[in-house]
Each structure stands twice: as C-alpha cells, then as structure tokens.
Amino acid sequence: MKRVSYSWLCCVLALLCISCCDGAIKLPPGVTIPGVFAYGDSIVDQGNNNVVKTLLKCNFPPYGKDFQGGVPTGRYSNGKTPPDLIAEELGITNFIPAYLDPNLKAQDLPTGVSFASGGCGYDPQTSQIVSVISLSDQLKHFKEYMGKLKGAVGEERANNIVSNSLHLVVAGSDDLANTYFTIGIRRAQYDISSYADLVVSSASSFIQELYQLGARRIAVFGIPPIGCLPAQRTLAGGSLRVCSEEYNQAAQLVNAKLSSTLESLNQSLPQSRVVYIDIYNPLLDLIQHPQNYGFEVNDRGCCGTGNIEVVILCNKYSGTCPDDSKYIFWDSYHPTEQAYKILVHQIIQKYVNSFI
C-alpha cells in the first residue's frame, strides 16, 4: 500500500476544515454580535482611501479581481478582506462597507462599517507621511457615524449595536515597516524598545477613547511577521530575499508589550472585552509551511514580479499569476483572500468565546 505523505494529509485536513466551516459560527443562546467595525490600516480598509488625496489607493485593476465580478472597491486584496470574512463567519452580513463610500446607505449602518485607512499607524507620524486618515480622525468619523446610526434606528438600539458589536483594531505594521525601518524618521530618534513603547502607548490611548465612545468588544490585532512580507524580503532580506529577523524581532517586541498593556486595560475598563489577537504566529506558520494549507508560493505576491509591487505599482500593466489561490500574498504586502479565509477561521475559533 502506497504511503500517504504527511504534508499532503495536512493539506487535505486543512481544506476539509475550511470547507466544513462555510456556515456561520453558532453563538450561545442570548448572545448577539450585531455588527463589525474596523479601525486602522490597509488590512481592514474597505475603500476609505478612495476619497483621500494619497498615493496609497487600490481602487483599480487587478485589485478586486475575485470580488463580485472583478470590481476594484479599494480593498487591498484580490477579494474579500478580514472585516468581510469575520462578519460572514459570525452570520452578520457578507460585506462590511467603507464608511466614506459615497454609496453607503442608511440600511448598511447597523451591521457595521470600516473607518480604516491604508498606511495608517498608531504613531501619528505614520499617517502624516503618506497623507492618510489618522486614528484620531477615524474616531471623529466614528462619532459622526453614531449620529447617523441614532437617526436611523434610534438612540437605544444604536447604543446596543455599538456595545455588542465587534470592533477590530489593526495597526502597527506600517509604524515598523515604513516609519521606523524603511523611511527611518523615527529610527533616528528612538531605539526599537523606546519606539515600541511609543506605539503601545498610542494604541492604549486609542482603545480607551474607543471604549469611551461605547465600544466594549475590542479585538486588537498584533503585528504580523513583517520581515517575511515579500516587500520587506526584497528591501531587507539580502540577495536571497530571506525573512528579515530584525524586523520580525521588532514586531515580537511590540506584540509582547501590547499584549501586556491590553491585559491591564481589560481589567481596568468595566464590562470590556479587550482581547489581544495573535496574528504573528498563524501567518508565520502559513509562510513556513505553505503546503500544509494548500499554498505553493510563500515569498512573493501574485501581482507582477511579486517582489515589490503594491498599490500603484500593482496595476493593470503588472500582470498577475495564473492561480492566486496558490499564493499566500496578493501583492508584496497584503495576503490573498484564500490566506485571509484560513487566518480568519483560526482566529474566530480561538477567540470568539473571549468576547462573550
């Protein structure tokens, strides 16, 4: 009898796990999560940068190639992104729109929106450098949204929606990858430990402000292994384009400090569920063992050469790979929808009970 390889078996099990979980997660009786809100950077920007004067846009082909008939909505991927997939797995809705989408309707408001802006970070300088929406301005948009929601459903229901919904906070990658390492403005002012303190302090302030505005279930994502992103391999990985250990160690340092701070916040903010979400290890496992999840390419994106193309460099002239489902990364910075599906499912399974 022919022996079945371990890696092939792992791949089949992973695919079976994904296919059997297409239905919504069942929450305990009496527990509801009415909506999903997102704040932060490009991972959860559903198209807000479309209306911002910045080069960090992706509302053009080939972005959105696999999204509802190939429509480029401003999502930084080939298809759906984490806010969509999380809302889908929780049985809320199939898509989370951008708050600044000119086609946003009153009936879209109760299930949540994204205020995020590609290129944003906890460090205020990060958004200033690339002229995108800062976290403080995202909070202003949230306040504005609350006024619209109250007008649409009434104050009591609006407050209930906000307090019971899931609020995703995804930032920090651009602080390290761009502001600290690539551009280097902050590197001249801080060593990595003190910069990590600045980032975490800003994150803490943001979360407390979000809490004051009514959010209670707050999922704060750690920084991924940025040294293994295709663009960072190209910029800092040498001729062999290996993962940059310096970048990854910086991400781990911020994550350790952030996790500790969030634990304290969770204790000090009454009725809150402030939860640190580890994305570093799940994504690193995908990158280190791609075959276990059905992937073939782990070190470059599907767009263009895959080594450096992102936003305006990934365009209709760049070309794309034949099968993006075999790639972990869509461009040189952002995962494909298929990679997001695997990561989101793992996250929901691990953390959903922490918000109940």
3-state secondary structure 283-298: HHHHHHCHHHHCCCEE
Residue 98, φ and ψ in degrees, nearest 5: -80, 140
For the chain, report the end-to-end CA distance as a whole number of angstroms: 48
State yes or no: is 345 an active-site residue.
no
Structure tokens at 296: 């073939």
Q: How confident is the model at residue 3 (pLDDT cuts 50, 70, 90)?
A: very low
Q: What single string gives the DSSP state of each residue in 161-190? A: HHHHSEEEEE-SHHIIIIIIIIS-TGGGT-
Q: Which helix (H) or strand (E) holds 235?
A: helix 230-236
Per-residue pLDDT, 298: 97
State yes or no: is 334 an active-site residue.
yes
pLDDT tens for 102-160 read 999 999 999 999 999 999 999 999 999 999 999 999 999 999 999 999 999 999 999 99
For residues 349 and 351, give the distance between their C-alpha atoms in angstroms, rounded to a whole number. Answer: 6
pLDDT tens for 4-40 read 444 444 443 343 343 334 456 778 777 889 999 999 9
Domains of the chain: 36-354 (3.40.50.1110)
Q: 41, 42, 45, 173: which is the annotated catalytic residue?
A: 42
For residues 356 and 118, give the distance between their C-alpha atoms in angstroms, rounded to a whole number. Answer: 30
Specify the residue for token string 């806010």.
83
pLDDT tens for 254-288 read 999 999 999 999 999 999 999 999 999 999 999 99
Per-residue pLDDT, 156: 97
State yes or no: is 244 an active-site residue.
no
The region that residue 172 occupies, defined by phi over 0 for left and psi between -120 and 50 for alpha, beta otherwise, is left
Its pTM surpasses 0.85: yes
Per-residue pLDDT, 2: 41
Question: Quick check: 83 and 99 in contact, CB under 8 A?
Answer: no
For residues 303 and 319, give the distance between their C-alpha atoms in angstroms, rounded to a whole number. Answer: 6
pLDDT tens for 173-196 read 999 999 999 998 899 999 999 999
CA torsion angle 50 55 57 61 (round to 10): 120
Q: Which of 83, 269, 281, 283 is nearest to 169 (CA)?
A: 83
Specify the residue for token string 């943001």.
206
Q: 41, 204, 299, 334: which is the annotated catalytic residue?
A: 334
Per-residue pLDDT, 185: 87
Per-residue pLDDT, 30: 78
Q: 202, 331, 332, 345: which is the annotated catalytic residue?
A: 331
pLDDT tens for 282-316 read 999 999 999 999 999 999 999 999 999 999 999 99
Per-residue pLDDT, 23: 52
